[in-house]
Amino acid sequence: MIIVTGGAGFIGSNLVKGLNDIGIDDVLVVDNFENADKHRNLEGCMIADFLDKQEFIDLVASRSIPDKVEAVLHQGACSNTMETDGRYMMENNYAYSKHLLEFCSFREIPFIYASSASVYGAGRHFSEAPQNESALNIYAYSKLLFDQFVRRRMVTAQSQIVGLRYFNVYGPSEWHKGRMASVAYHFQQQYTDKGHVNLFQGSAGYDDGEQRRDFVWVGDVVDVNLFFLQHPDVSGVFNVGTGRSESFNDVATAVINSTTGKNNSTNELVDSGEIRYISFPNELRGKYQSFTQADISALVSLGYTNEFKTVAEGVELYVSSQSAK
């Protein structure tokens, strides 16, 4: 059995689908249904069982998880980067993860967990080294602190421990994330509802809409998880991104062109009013990553050869998946 925590969420449900695609359906999904509609993300998935998050935590604490667990893919976390309740964030992202790691280490169960590129803060260097890490908010700090805990545990660990620092992931099944859903999701919603997309005006030395991120298609994230699942002898903390930075203008242009079937340039879409620029929010000043670009050399050095999709390729798949519903 493979356990997927946060399995009804965005990346978690895509992981369950990915496991099914390679013939694995002995999957225990752990999540909570405080948002009852999240069940929609698991429609069409084959799973062995479902456990509420709190029930699962209680079983972990009593070390009562069944002996046949082959691996834990830990995606469960509070992903709201605007959350201000530090106690809540640390309980969900740090303490929960730490207890689960301790259990997996005790039982020598491979443990693959979701970290975040937010740990790099406002820096310009994105390789997996402590000197590049600096948290801008409590979400990033909760992820960074757990990565640091993991590094200490790896020294004596007898089983696989892998942390995956996701960059800006987008794709199907993120509708429930609200304001924390990807810009690709929000741009498509805006364009469908209003006929235009709003981007931030220039900030931190970048022109209007030219802030740049490493946007990664969720299917590529699933592939990286499955790679480590199939290589249980490898441990470490690794970036998961494309290795390319692309602008918010690039994402908006790809969303609009994929939706309309046209091939307009960004400038043409600005001139037509389909791309518009709004003031940069005061509450994000000093807490915003204007540039990210994953250094994936550590991942590639392991023999990972899959090509990551560009924004144009991934967004086209995304829009097509939404249109097919």
- Separation CA 91–CA 276 (nearest Å): 39
Backbone angles phi, psi at 6, to 5 degrees: 65, 25
CATH 3.90.25.10 location in the chain: 175-211+246-288
Catalytic residue among 98, 177, 277, 288: 177
Contact present, 89 and 139 (Cβ < 8 Å): yes
Annotated catalytic residue: which of 139, 141, 170, 185?
139
Tokens of 147: 């990565």
> How many C-beta atoms lie closer than 10 Å to residue 95's C-beta?
14
Predicted confidence at residue 323, as pLDDT, reads: 65
Stated length of the chain:
325
CA atoms within 13 A on the CB side of 19: 29
**Residue 324: its pLDDT value, please?**
58
Q: Is 287 assigned a catalytic role?
A: no
CATH label, 2-168+216-242+294-308, candidates 3.40.50.720, 3.40.50.1240, 3.20.20.70, 3.40.50.300: 3.40.50.720
User: Residues with Cβ < 8 Å from 193, sequence gap 6 or more?
Assistant: none
Q: Which CATH architecture has domain 175-211+246-288?
A: Alpha-Beta Complex (3.90)
How many angstroms separate the CA atoms of 13 and 43, rounded?
Answer: 9
User: Is there a catalytic annotation at residue 143?
Assistant: no
Domain with CATH 3.40.50.720 in the chain: 2-168+216-242+294-308
Supply the pLDDT for residue 88. 87
Q: pLDDT averaged over consecutive 10-residue blocks of the chain (325 residues)?
A: 97 98 97 92 96 93 86 90 85 94 95 96 93 92 97 95 98 92 96 96 91 97 98 97 98 97 97 96 80 97 97 95 69
Best CA proximity match to 74, nearest among 30, 38, 33: 30
Its pTM stands at: 0.94
